[in-house]
Amino acid sequence: MNVDFPFSFGTNGRTAGTSDDDHIRDLIQQVLFTAPGERVNRPDFGSGLLRLVFAPNSDELAAATQFLVQGALQQWLGDLIEVNDVQVDNSDSSLFVEVHYTIRRTQQRDVARFNRGGEAL
C-alpha cells in the first residue's frame, strides 16, 4: 500500500492509501512543488518551481519551466518514470505544466497536469 498525498485518514480511521499509478502522480507533484531546502534530511530535493510564481509570465518563463521540470523529474524520479515530454502553456496570467511520462515498472504511459499554484488538474 502507498500512503496517499496529501496525508489523510481513510474511512476506516487508518492512513489513507492510494494505487501505484496515483502514487507516481503524487510523487511528481511533490518533486515539482517542493522548494530546495524545504526538507531537512534532503536539502536539495525539489525543483524550485514555486520560485517562479512571482516571475512575469512570458515565453522565456515557459521555456525555463520546461527545463526545470524535466531536470528535476529525471533527477529524483528517473528510476520510477521515463519523462517523455514536458509541455508548458503560459496563457494570460496562468502557467500550466503537463508531464507526459512512462512508468518504468509497467510501461504504462500517463499524463500529469498542474497549474502554477500547485493544483493537479
In tens, the pLDDT along 60-95 reads 888 888 898 999 999 999 999 999 999 988 777 777
Measured CA to CA, the distance from residue 2 to residue 20 in angstroms comes to: 7
In angstroms, the first-to-last Cα distance of the chain is 24
Provide the pLDDT for residue 117: 55
Measured CA to CA, the distance from residue 3 to residue 83 in angstroms comes to: 23
Residues 103/79, Cβ–Cβ less than 8 Å: no
Residue with cell 522548494: 35
**Mean of pLDDT over the chain:** 84
Closest CA to 33 of 84, 97, 92: 97
Q: Which fold has domain 2-115?
A: Nuclear Transport Factor 2; Chain: A, (3.10.450)
pTM of the model: 0.81
26-47 residue pLDDT tens:
899 989 988 888 888 999 898 8
